[in-house]
Amino acid sequence: MGNFFGFILSMIYFDKVTKVYDDSTKALCDVTLKIEPKEFVSIVGHSGAGKTTLIKMLLAEEKPTEGKIFFESTNINALKKSEVNKLRRRIGTIFQDYRLLPNKTVYENIAFAMEAAGRTDEEIVADVPYVLELVDLADKELNFPTELSGGERQRVAIARAIVNQPDVIVADEPTGNLDPINTYEIVQILKKINDLGTTVILTTHNKGVIDELGKRVITLEGGRIVRDDPTGRYVL
């Protein structure tokens, strides 16, 4: 019971989590980790280390074979489908491939995320310009994704992820398709979001990003946590 009250105060808690797929691939092995509110945590590791599986389990897209995952005091894997949707609204996700709607403008892409969350027209009119300003795209609201650079598309994806004010942002290889200048800009935006009080979880292969951040780094290898440095650098 004492351990329970230890993790109830954490934002996210993986408790001895193991994931074995049907083909006997062990994606995660006995992973225990805590992420506190307002932390910025980078998760690194070679391809196949378990980063994507860890993210999918946090989003309740996969269930652990053993162990439990908690969001605050809630056991994620005990949630009903309707409750899973509520959980996911508290977690904004950013992907390497942007996942924007090509037939909608920048403004409409972000407004669509708000509509899906049940926000009012008044909230949309107030909040979309605010997040576009935050990601430095105020002058692009009427553009379509095909008219934007890769870095601009990723900034739209970030704006869409934060517009409903989630507690956590999960950025899964968000700079994987970007050049160094755009990569730097995306990282600065993620730092700004974190400074405003949102927990950020970043997965990346990019050594330069990790070294520039100087934040906590968790290193996965073969599904296990092999390093957890409070102000780490990229060591593989």
Q: What is the pLDDT of residues 65-118, one digit of tens each?
A: 999 999 998 999 999 988 998 898 899 999 889 999 999 999 999 999 999 999
Task: With a cut of 50, say whether residue 3 has pLDDT above it.
Answer: no
In a domain, 204, yes or no: yes
β-strand 216-221 against 40-44: which pairing, if any?
parallel
Which is more confident, 218 or 7? 218
Strand ranges in the chain using DSSP code E only, listed in sequence order:
12-20, 26-35, 40-44, 66-71, 74-75, 91-95, 168-172, 199-203, 216-221, 224-229
| Helix pair 106-116, 150-162: axis angle to 10 deg | 30
> Which pLDDT value is given to residue 7?
45
The residue segments making up the domain with residue 136 are 37-63+81-229
Q: Rounded to whole angstroms, how far apart are CA atoms 120 and 122?
A: 5
Q: Rounded to whole angstroms, how far apart are CA atoms 15 and 31?
A: 7
Task: With a cut of 50, say whether residue 211 has pLDDT above it.
Answer: yes
In a domain, 124, yes or no: yes
Stretch 10-31: mean pLDDT, rounded? 93
Stretch 137-163: mean pLDDT, rounded? 96
Task: With a cut of 90, say whether residue 236 has pLDDT above it.
Answer: no
Q: Rounded to whole angstroms, how far apart are CA atoms 231 and 35?
A: 14
- In 3-state terms, what secondary structure has residue 134? helix
Q: Rounded to whole angstroms, how far apart are CA atoms 62 and 201?
A: 18
Contact of 66 with 21, CB cutoff 8 Å:
no
In a domain, 206, yes or no: yes
| Helix pair 121-134, 150-162: axis angle to 10 deg | 140
The total domain count for the chain is 1
- pTM value? 0.91
Query: Residue 121 is part of a domain; what is its CATH number?
Result: 3.40.50.300
pLDDT band, very low/low/confident/very high, at 8 (cuts 50, 70, 90): very low
Task: With a cut of 90, say whether residue 207 has pLDDT above it.
Answer: no
% helix, strand, coil for the chain, step of 5: 40, 25, 35
